[in-house]
Amino acid sequence: MGLLAGYRAFVSALKIPDPDSFTFFYHFGYQHYALGDLLTMEVQTAVRAAEAQCQYIDVVIGLDPGKPASQLQGFITPLNHRSYLDNLFPAFLCMPNLRSLRLVRDRLSYSYLYASRALSKIPYWPSLKNELKMHQEYPLGHHEINAYYEKHGAIPKLAAPRGYEMWASRFIEQHFSGKKVVVINPRQSSLASVPTVTYRDAELDTWINFLSTMSIKHPDVMFVPVGGYAEQDQRLLLCKNVFIPRCNGQNLAHELALLHNADMFIGTSSGFATYATFTDIPYGILNIEHMFAGWVGLSVGDRHYPFGKPNQILTWESETYESLVELFDEIYESLNTKSPQHSGRAAKLSNA
């Protein structure tokens, strides 16, 4: 019955080609449980969809419960993969022009869906070659995104997770009224249950001193640290100008929605920094790895992505207290300009 049902779905899909749709396939058998990689692929997909003149994007997630992750993420197993999926799932809701989202837990059904798109000539990605080999090149670069920007002067932007945009606006209005909201991510992977690339972690003492100074210098600012619950150092709870979503029962969806509505982002190069990269939010991204420069079309020391705005700033070294204060002041000053491009919420109100 499973084969028959799958075949019927396959034939049905072939009969209903939709020239306005683009299908994005994401199979965890070879693609990563990684926020930054997923968000970059979403923008790459949106670029491909725009080039194919497709108005909508349909997302199909493939997950085999018996083999839920690639060999590079062997710590994700049939017993624990659901928690990793739950933690990452809200990021799929940020896809530009998202129309539908399906999670397929049967390999054969997923293969039928993929084949139906390939044979019906509906635009899709990744390529058949990548899918058959179950191979994805890492790290992910910005070459297609940069080329699209050079051609069109703009790129597709990530959305707030669907269903959370209004919540974030109301939450900020109710709890942070009259304050500027600055989302921060001083990466602390060493505190997580499965630490990864800990050399990219921030020096938290530097951030604690910075937050202490800001409480006096800028009492109109509320700082919102994002990241896993285990990564939130208890010293942050003692800062009066800090609100930690994970310590209030909120998850990645709430964090990304708050970030989308924030006035500014400052943080270590990470998945949250990737989200800020593909929005209009003023930001400072810290300590970018030098080897990453070539993959994104930059030289070490460049302060902006090709599609970045003047108050969307990159740094290539570990932050010090002095450099952190200087960077914050530079971006904060841009928020006081009247141009809507200098404020995330101001831009949204202007576009509305």
Write down the pLDDT at residue 121.
Answer: 76
Predicted confidence band at 342 (pLDDT cuts at 50, 70, 90)? very low
Task: Note down the domain range covering 276.
Answer: 165-351
Tracing tokens 């209903």 back to the chain, one arrives at: 16
- Same domain assignment for residues 195 and 289: yes
Range in 10-14, 23-27, 163-167 with the lowest mean pLDDT = 10-14
Whether 17 shows a pLDDT value over 50: the answer reads yes
What pLDDT is attached to residue 64?
Answer: 95
Q: Which of 237-246, 251-260, 337-346 has the lowest mean pLDDT?
A: 337-346
Domain CATH code at residue 246: 3.40.50.2000
DSSP helix/strand/coil, 29: coil
| Pair (169, 146) in one structural domain | no
Q: How many domains does the chain have?
A: 2
Whether 193 and 339 map to the same domain: the answer is: yes
236 and 326 belong to one structural domain: yes
Residue 75 lies in a domain: yes
Asked if the model's pLDDT at residue 40 lies above 50, the reply is yes
pLDDT of 99 above 90? yes
The residues, ordered by sequence, that sit 6+ positions from 186 with a Cβ below 8 Å of its Cβ are 202, 204, 207, 225, 267, 268
Asked whether residue 157 is domain-assigned, the answer is: no
- In-domain check, residue 159: no
Instruction: Report the pLDDT value the prediction gives residue 120, as an integer from 0 to 100.
Output: 79
Rounded CA gap, 94 and 308, in Å?
19
Residue with tokens 């969307």: 312
Instruction: Please tell me whether residues 138 and 234 are part of one structural domain.
Output: no
Instruction: Say whether both 266 and 127 belong to one domain.
Output: no
Residue 158: inside a domain: no
Which residue, 94, 118, 152, sits at the end of a domain? 152
The answer on pLDDT for 199 being more than 80 is no
> Is residue 295 pLDDT above 60, yes or no?
yes
Q: What is the pLDDT of residues 323-340, one digit of tens each?
A: 999 999 999 999 976 444
- Residue 184 located in a structural domain: yes
pLDDT at position 136 is 79
Q: Are residues 334 and 211 in the same domain?
A: yes
pLDDT at 224 over 70: yes
The answer to whether residues 181 and 329 belong to one domain is yes
Rounded average pLDDT over 169-180: 95
pLDDT value for 345: 52
Q: Are residues 18 and 61 both part of a single domain?
A: yes
Mean local confidence (pLDDT), 85-99: 96
Cβ–Cβ under 8 Å, residues 171 and 260: no
- pLDDT range class, residue 348, cuts 50, 70, 90: very low
Which of 14-18, 167-171, 271-275 shows the lowest mean pLDDT across its residues?
A: 14-18
User: 203 and 307: one domain?
Assistant: yes
Residues 142 and 172 in one domain: no
Q: Which of 117, 152, 187 is the last residue of a domain?
A: 152
pLDDT for position 56: 94
Q: Which two tokens stand for residue 66?
A: 């018996």
50 in any annotated domain: yes
Q: Any idea which residue has 């017993």 for tokens? A: 79
The reply to whether 132 falls in a domain is: yes
Nearest to 189 by CA among 269, 127, 132: 269
Measured distance CA(248)–CA(91) in Å, rounded:
20
Tokens 């690639």 -> residue:
70
Element housing 45 (H / E)? helix 35-51
